[in-house]
Structure 1
């Protein structure tokens, strides 16, 4: 079976570049089957055998599957004819219908990786609009497994919601870590110690969740009726989960709004 050719518009940027490097590192496709667009037509990826082009339409013409890895506000400026191609969009808030209307793609996959692609730890939900061959779906799954884990969802609206959940990547942990450190410093703890303590909670201790059920862990700690239970009870009484829900709905609303602004 002939390997498909994958083109990445924005493939030398932060997100597209991380995916391009992972595709090569994990041997998903040979370098000769990877096409990346770059305005200058030059990039270090070329030294690995990747085809570099300066024109986005030239990339589309050379590719079987096209990834669009640009900022959502840049989409309106893309002039593409992707008739007969599958387009994979990594843009938040741009509907599959809008992508088809502008590119004439035969099918669209909307996906939402996050910043953890840099370390191969992103979770990427993806959704197919239009007829997508099983082989293409398999390739999409394996593509995003190159940068972490991935799962297909059955409703496009789920992608918009997950843009505010998994798509935020380290944003929520960063907010929690900052809050913990700031509160410790406000209590008189030296800044260096406060930062180390907060980092341990968010970055190190949370790794226990990889092998423990989160709900069971919370229940066990609450049942112990110690310091942790008191802290958790205070957060619960402060409607912590409801605040998280409002944050996710706010982010999802922006994603759903998309180009309708």
Structure 2
């Protein structure tokens, strides 16, 4: 358990709320050391002992660590003074230098969780702006391990690229699952069977990758020269990897564009 008081601006939203629930459930933080902001002044977390405030500056004043979990377009209107505080931003496209300048924070960390925070399975890369104490880095790592896995990156640009990769959460698997089901239905497979088959591929069968090397699995299946090999080879011949690369670059470009505004 940590002794710092953590405030989450946007702590009742899906992202901030998931993190708030996780740090309490994992015992990283006591409810008395959690502050969340909510304009309505009412939220179930308050019943667990968390401090609920309606004013964001009040939250900052009560906190040692401030997590900003709001949409990027709302950042400019926050108008908070976080002098002497640690600010952790979960906003895509808002640079650390901009955050430091607007909040006067003593330390700024940019992090990019994804929607899997809801089930404790997010991968969260994080970046420290300027010099940050080792104790602060340890706190950040432990905080995001409450909702999955986490790793520090050494360049801020990596956060923007990873916003389009891990930050997209279930978007790519969802697209693959939908595409597989649609193609099966186009081939005459009944809708319910098509959806079950596609879900098994994306959700169930992919769990094998937790204990198997992905490239070794691909190589073994291609070497077998069977049905799977034919399907994989068609995707390779269709420049599947290049298409994924273009998709990631397109997403990263949007994040970087936001970074520059």
Q: Is this a same-fold pair by TM over 0.5?
A: yes
Aligned counterpart, 1:248: 248
Structure 2: unaligned runs, 5 residues or longer: none
Query: Which residue in the other structure is 2:94 paired with?
Result: 94
Alpha-carbon RMSD = 1.1
Q: How does 1:185-196 map to 2 (within 5 A)?
A: 185-196=185-196
The answer for the alignment partner of 1:205 in structure 2 is: 205
| Contact 2:9-2:37 at 8 Å conserved across structures | yes
How much has 1:131 moved relative to structure 2?
Answer: 2.4
Between the aligned partners of 1:258 and 1:4, the Cα distance in structure 2 is 31
Q: 2:163 touches 2:255 (CA, 8 Å); kept in 1?
A: yes
Partner of residue 46, structure 1: 46
Per the alignment, residue 222 of structure 2 pairs with 222
CA offsets 1:51-78 (integer angstroms, 9 cap, x no match): 1111000000000010000001111111
SS of 2:110's partner is strand
Query: 2:123 aligns to what SS in structure 1?
Result: strand
Match of 1:235 in 2: 235
Aligned to 1:29: 29
2:141 matched residue in structure 1: 141
Query: Is contact 2:2–2:28 with CA below 8 Å preserved after alignment?
Result: no
TM-score (norm 1): 0.98
Please report how far the alpha carbon of residue 168 of structure 1 lies from its aligned counterpart in structure 2 after TM superposition: 0.2
Cα distance in structure 2, aligned partners of 1:211 and 1:2: 32
Q: TM-score scaled by structure 2?
A: 0.98
Alignment of 1:9-88 (within 5 A): 9-88=9-88
Mark the CA change 1:211 to 1:234 in structure 2 (over 3 Å): closer, same or farther: same
Give the 4+ runs in structure 1 shifted more than 3 A: none
Q: What is the distance in 2 between the residues matched to 1:130 and 1:137?
A: 12
How many residues are paired up?
261
Q: Which runs of 5 or more residues in structure 1 are unaligned?
A: none
